[in-house]
A and B are shown apart, each in its own frame.
Chain A
Amino acid sequence: MAKKKGKKIIVYILLTVFLVGFLLPIYVLLATSFKPFDEVGKPLMWNWPSSLSFDGFAKAFDKLKGNLINSFILVIPATFVSAMVGSINGYVLSKLKFRGSNALFAIILFGMFIPYQSILFPMITFLQNIGLYGSIGGLILVHIIYGLPITTLIFRNYYAEVPTELIEAANIDGAGIFKSYWKVLFPISLPGFVVVIIWQFTNIWNEFLFAVTVTSDPTKQPITVALVNLAGSQVVEWNVQMAGAIITALPTLLVYIFLGKYFLRGLLAGSVKG
């Protein structure tokens, strides 16, 4: 028994060491963001603020609030549309097997791994042609399309577990392709939608490269771009910078804290292929 106890203590010690390492940046983030500007200076960097100051947050929020709203305008429609289309794709690919459906699925999956950079230039040209370049609408479109591989994958795997007999029974009752999706599959899709929506929300919120390329007007940029540009001035006000980072991180962090279980499922879905 003594040996077992000793082992437990070692496990705890190791876990704690790693935890400290993982929380170190968070400590810096919190400590700095609550400091008044005159304490941000170098020798006090690792100290906890002597008094809590919200100056950093007030300034950061003032500069970023428009971009925060932009991010919500971008993320909400992009998330829902890509989830909806992914659900229909997943239905077609798992329940309406047709010639080449597996090959089609493989091609869609490859889309998940295409580096953003390699489609950047044609994407811009395309957006210019349809008049959406530089707008949040254009960014929404890009994220819907780029989100389809992962949403399709998650829904396909989710529907694969649903007995095909259910669909067949609906077909015998005279339901068409769309009706059987709408009446049979959609009502039981909620868990799949939760995973997909959380995943898409987090990813689109955190995305930077598309955002910085498509939107050059600062009033139209999502918050990730605005955060990076915040440091652009001569003297970096680190308390403002860190407060801005916290504001940027907060929505996805809250999602993780309250719905982490579903977030994890989306994460693993991206690695365990079907």
Chain B
Amino acid sequence: MKNYERIFSDSRFQTDLWNTLYFTIFFIFGCLFLGIILAILVDSKVKGAGIFQNFFLFPMALAFVVTGTVWSWIFAPGILPENPEGINLLFNSIGLSGLEWKWYTSTDSFINFNFALIPVIIGAVWQMAGYTMAMYLAGLRGIPSTFTEAAMVDGASGWQIFWKIKFPILKPITFSAMIILAHISLKIFDLVYAMTGSGPNNVTDVPSIYMWETTFRANKYARGSAIAIIMLLLVAIFIVPYLVSSFKSNKRA
């Protein structure tokens, strides 16, 4: 138990937990929001929608280390203000130099939310939004067209059809997506490792990186194992009720 006491009073681990919390929240909402918008757009059946769909989904086929490498360069801030790099340079050249900031090297924070996480969240949402879209699309395409046709005959507008008919049907999908994204977020390692590492003052540190470094770089096995067990418990809190509920609903059906 001493290991656990020590780990929870460790300032680095506390930072990790805050980082994980904020990362998870923004990552999940970013993916859900973007995912449902993309799904609706692709489902609107305009010509060529399938091609767009393929492009939105392709980041899923890439390794997190590949995307981490690319994003780490895009968000490399350079030396401000005289020597902007990456996306700062792009902002600078199109006259938006007000948007330049230190990205993942920033040590600013707001209620324990380290702003340096923002580029990492953008990279993660970029990679996983297509996946969320695919889940929503599967749901939207499973809605019988008789439902929406009947509503249209009754004079319902596009918005009404979406909110009154499609949205409730998509609820379980939203729930599944949240669980899956949460579990990805809790154990995220590759992307952060390839993109930023722990960052200055651990601003982009997450438990998986701490666990890995402390176990395999510093050889503190007990502490590493304690973090690993905490991670397992966090994931289990989300996953076990999810599995139980999906088994129950399956039996009913």
Are A118 and B229 interface neighbours, CB within 8 A?
yes
Are A42 and B239 interface neighbours, CB within 8 A?
no
Binary interface encoding of chain B residues 36-59 relative to chain A, with 1 for a CB under 8 A from any of its CBs, else 0: 011001101010010010111111
Are B190 and A29 interface neighbours, CB within 8 A?
no
Are B250 and A273 interface neighbours, CB within 8 A?
yes
* CB contact list, B116-130 vs A, under 8 A: 126, 130
Are B89 and A253 interface neighbours, CB within 8 A?
no
Are A252 and B61 interface neighbours, CB within 8 A?
yes
By the criterion of a CB under 8 Å from any partner CB, how many residues of chain B are at the interface? 75
State which of B62, B69, B93, B126 has its C-beta within 8 Å of the C-beta of A46.
B93
Interface flag for B135 (CB, 8 Å): yes
* CB contact list, A38-58 vs B, under 8 A: 42-43, 45-46
Contacts of A12 in B (CB 8 A): 46
For the complex formed, measure the closest distance between the CB of B73 and the CB atoms of chain A, giving whole angstroms: 6
Interface flag for A14 (CB, 8 Å): yes
Interface flag for A256 (CB, 8 Å): yes
For the complex formed, measure the closest distance between the CB of A184 and the CB atoms of chain B, giving whole angstroms: 25
A14 nearest CB neighbor, chain B only: B41
* CB contact list, A1-56 vs B, under 8 A: 7-8, 11-12, 14-15, 18-19, 21-25, 28-29, 32, 42-43, 45-46
B78 nearest CB neighbor, chain A only: A42
Interface flag for B83 (CB, 8 Å): yes
A270 and B177 CA atoms in complex are apart in Å by: 11
Are B63 and A252 interface neighbours, CB within 8 A?
yes
A28 and B71 CA atoms in complex are apart in Å by: 9
| Given A46-B93, A121-B221, A252-B61: A115 and B73 interface contact (C-beta under 8 Å) | no
State which of B64, B73, B186, B211 has its C-beta within 8 Å of the C-beta of A206.
B64
Are A109 and B243 interface neighbours, CB within 8 A?
yes
Are A208 and B78 interface neighbours, CB within 8 A?
no
Interface flag for A228 (CB, 8 Å): yes
Binary interface encoding of chain A residues 232-274 relative to chain B, with 1 for a CB under 8 A from any of its CBs, else 0: 0000001001101100110011011000100110011011111
For the complex formed, measure the closest distance between the CB of B161 and the CB atoms of chain A, giving whole angstroms: 14
Are A8 and B93 interface neighbours, CB within 8 A?
no
A235 and B38 CA atoms in complex are apart in Å by: 39
Interface flag for B66 (CB, 8 Å): yes
Contacts of B42 in A (CB 8 A): 15
Are B208 and A248 interface neighbours, CB within 8 A?
no
Contacts of B69 in A (CB 8 A): 227-228, 231, 241-242, 244-245
| Given A267-B134, A273-B250: A116 and B63 interface contact (C-beta under 8 Å) | no
